[in-house]
Chain A
Amino acid sequence: MELQEARRTLVVPGEAFAEGEYKILTPSYVIRLDKRYVATVVGLAQVNDEAKEISIIPLEGCYIPQPEDVVVGYVVDVGLTSWELDIRAPFTATLYAVDFLGRPVNPAKEDLNNYLTIGDTILAKVEVFDRNRGPIVTTKGKGLGKVVRGTVIEISPVKVARVIGRKGSMHQILEGETGCEVIVARNGRILANCPNRELEDILIMAIIKIDREAHIPGLTDRVKEFIIREKVKRGLIGGETKTD
């Protein structure tokens, strides 16, 4: 099925970009004044006249946790029964020792610093987050837990969707073309495990390119081309022999 073509424009706060009756898909970024739909952030407004839907892809902003989001956090504080993680949200996230260790802890006998300490990198999943409490994360799940190797690349959290791409297309290209294992966390931290330094450099450059050019169409093809060109430049693949 072909996707319906939507009008896309760059909007700034206070700009009315549609009029009439539409369904707002991104309520945080659009407000309705009388019959006009006004943007509240700098972003790309999409107006789908057939489906009568409007949405805005923001170009700036911080990370707002949502349950089920996979995030990369750094330990910033060690408590008696929990750790505090910086997940680039307005709030620090709590990781309970019971959850991480899988058993109850006795703070009188154990020091949590022995398991995780300040500066450690954790791959976790947001379990709960609402307006009354700070986010609580869990490390129960496949691949979650303390990160012991790899590189973390930080990009703007609002551009994570572009690094994943439509149906994961960009993610596939990044992994397929560089041979790196790439985990894209929702808070804009990308965890990469690469076979060698050169491929890692190419991956980082490609991700920076995505962050910079996220609002310009045709990104996926440009990134694919970019990676191939960089690989040729470094002699990782020849002109005609194309092996990974």
Chain B
Amino acid sequence: MEKPKLIKENGLRHDGRRPNELRPIRMSVGILNKASGSALVEYGETKVLAAVHGPREIPQRHLLLPDRAVIRCRYHMLSFSTHERKSPVPTRREIELSKVIREALEPVVISETFPRTAIDVFIEIINADGGTRTAAVTAASLALADAGIPMKDLVVGVAVGKVDGVLVLDIDEEEDMFGEADMPVAIAPSLGIVTLLQLNGVLTREEFSEALRLALAGANLIYEKAREALRDRYMKVRVEE
């Protein structure tokens, strides 16, 4: 496949977005009734479903901790989420992402409330179009909140990339594939902490600072939507007449 033109002459990106523009974002919370908490998050064409079970006792007792709950996280791409069928067996990449997503959530979850238990987070990528790990972090934190697990803050993720020499927010698959750098970031905005930061490719120091600034601005917009999605679940309940 030949490299497409990612930034047009008018400065817009291949899908018509400005460099600092997010894709359309949709979120819904509490969509599965068997799980303790659940959320569906869409960043443009990327679609992620997260479900939380627990806190609960688990048969693998050696994993349990005496002073707090353990968080177990599984990031998984469905076979039909990509152009070519993805084998459902967890890949090296999925195992790594499960770990980084778990570590992105751990600083905000008040796990000391539930000693000797496990909180399971299952993340399924339904459709992958770039930025699945960041959408997964957002979905997982919404699902945790929906399960009623105490958290210091919500965590939201967004990726910044460098394509054709321009820093762009919320990159999609094409920009990820043909771009020069990709930097997923997850933050807890109210606490003011970064819980996930990865960088693939090369950025100069100045570019890195600018990319982080761009990511924080984007994450704040997503954060507002996440809060709204949680509130909406109750605001939409009307008194039955």
Q: Which residues of A contact B89 (CB under 8 A)?
A: none
Q: A40-B151, A215-B237 are in contact. Are A90 and B146 (CB under 8 A)?
A: no
Q: A90-B114, A91-B116, A213-B237 are in contact. Are A42 and B190 (CB under 8 A)?
A: no
Instruction: Tell me the smallest distance from the CB of B63 to a CB of chain A, in Å.
Output: 14
Q: A58 an interface residue at 8 Å Cβ cutoff? A: yes
Q: A10-B234, A13-B145, A14-B190 are in contact. Are A131 and B151 (CB under 8 A)?
A: no
Complex Cα distance A40/B150, Å?
Answer: 5
Is B234 a contact partner of A90 (Cβ separation < 8 A)? no
Q: A29 an interface residue at 8 Å Cβ cutoff? A: yes
Q: Which residues of A contact B189 (CB under 8 A)?
A: 14
Q: B153 an interface residue at 8 Å Cβ cutoff? A: yes
Q: B240 an interface residue at 8 Å Cβ cutoff? A: yes
Q: Is the interface of B mostly helix, strand, loop or mixed?
A: loop
Q: A31 an interface residue at 8 Å Cβ cutoff? A: yes
Partner of A62, one of B110, B148, B154: B148
Q: B217 an interface residue at 8 Å Cβ cutoff? A: no
Q: B147 an interface residue at 8 Å Cβ cutoff? A: yes
Is B148 a contact partner of A14 (Cβ separation < 8 A)? no
Chain B residue with Cβ nearest A226: B240
Q: Which residues of A contact B149 (CB under 8 A)?
A: 41, 61
- A177-211 CB mask vs B (1 if < 8 Å, else 0) is 00000000000000000000000000000000100
Q: Of residues A42, A212, A216, A222, which shows the largest number of chain B Cβ atoms within 10 Å of its Cβ?
A: A42
Instruction: Tell me the smallest distance from the CB of A104 to a CB of chain B, in Å.
Output: 28
Chain A residue with Cβ nearest B114: A90
A interface residues with partner B (beta carbon < 8 Å): 10, 12-16, 28-29, 31, 33, 38, 40-42, 58-62, 90-92, 131-132, 158, 209, 212-213, 215-216, 222, 226
B interface residues with partner A (beta carbon < 8 Å): 36-37, 54-57, 66-67, 108, 110, 113-117, 145-154, 188-191, 227, 230-231, 233-235, 237, 239-240
- What are 23 pairs between A and B in contact, CB < 8 Å? A10-B234, A12-B227, A14-B151, A14-B152, A14-B153, A15-B227, A38-B152, A38-B153, A40-B110, A40-B150, A40-B151, A42-B146, A42-B148, A42-B233, A59-B234, A60-B37, A60-B145, A61-B147, A90-B57, A91-B57, A215-B234, A222-B239, A226-B240
